[in-house]
A = this chain, B = another copy of it.
Amino acid sequence: MNIRENIRPGGRSARVQASVHKAVRELLSKMDRNDVTIPLIATEAGVTPSTIYRRWGDLQELLADVAVERLRPDAPPKDTGSARTDLEQWAEQYADEMASGPGRAMIRDVLASVGADTRNAGKCCGYTREQLQVIADRARDRGEAFPDVEAVIDEVVAPIMYRILFDQAPPTSAKVLWLVERMLVGRRAT
């Protein structure tokens, strides 16, 4: 099932999408996710269930759509004066958000929908890349050495995400800092 990509702002479609998204956020904050159903969301949003089924296909797609929206960063990484501290702060915040209950649920929603709509997981990865690129560009402007964004993904982002998804214990703050440290040190040594 396809979600329309370009919706004209202000149109009826946009209003329906907004009220449905809002209803989902509302309900997820109030109740267990397994108790959230499409008829419920439809009632809360003031639309008929068939509208949701036709636009999103099923609950998983809808949840993924909302989750991607919420995973989009709202601001560029803070400029702390050096690439290292920029990255440290960004990574700690990233780990915290993703390891939180809502964060984990959102990641799962996004991944679970990949079968039907391959774009979602890629979008999340894209957001991360953009954030890291900002840090890397700032480093370049300052004349600091800084590894490629892909290397940061491999050495810092991927371990954090793997631990969150597959391990019981999410990475501690110390572990995150250590990952950053190791990457920067390894880079110098090469």
Say if the beta carbon of A46 comes within 8 Å of chain B: no
Say if the beta carbon of A54 comes within 8 Å of chain B: no
A22-38 contacts to B, CB under 8 A, are 33-34
Q: Are B122's CB and A168's CB within 8 A?
A: yes
**Interface bin, chain A:** 20 to 34
User: Which of these binds chain B: A87-95, A137-145, A151-159?
Assistant: A151-159
Say if the beta carbon of A40 comes within 8 Å of chain B: no
Q: What DSSP secondary structure best describes chain A's contact surface?
A: helix
Q: State the oligomeric state as a number of copies.
A: 2
In whole angstroms, what is the CA distance A124 to B159 when docked? Answer: 16
Q: Are B162's CB and A158's CB within 8 A?
A: yes
A97 to chain B, nearest CB (A): 16
A96 to chain B, nearest CB (A): 18
A60 to chain B, nearest CB (A): 8
Say if the beta carbon of A186 comes within 8 Å of chain B: yes
The 8 A CB mask of A115-148 against B (1 = contact, 0 = none) is 1101001101100000000000000000000000
Give the 9 A-B residue pairs with the shortest CB-CB distance, closest first: A158-B162, A125-B166, A112-B112, A154-B159, A158-B158, A158-B159, A121-B166, A186-B186, A189-B189
* 29 A-B residue pairs with CB within 8 Å: A33-B115, A34-B116, A104-B114, A105-B115, A108-B112, A108-B115, A112-B112, A118-B168, A121-B165, A122-B166, A122-B168, A124-B166, A153-B159, A153-B162, A154-B159, A154-B162, A154-B179, A155-B155, A155-B159, A157-B162, A158-B159, A158-B161, A158-B163, A161-B162, A161-B165, A161-B166, A162-B162, A182-B186, A186-B186
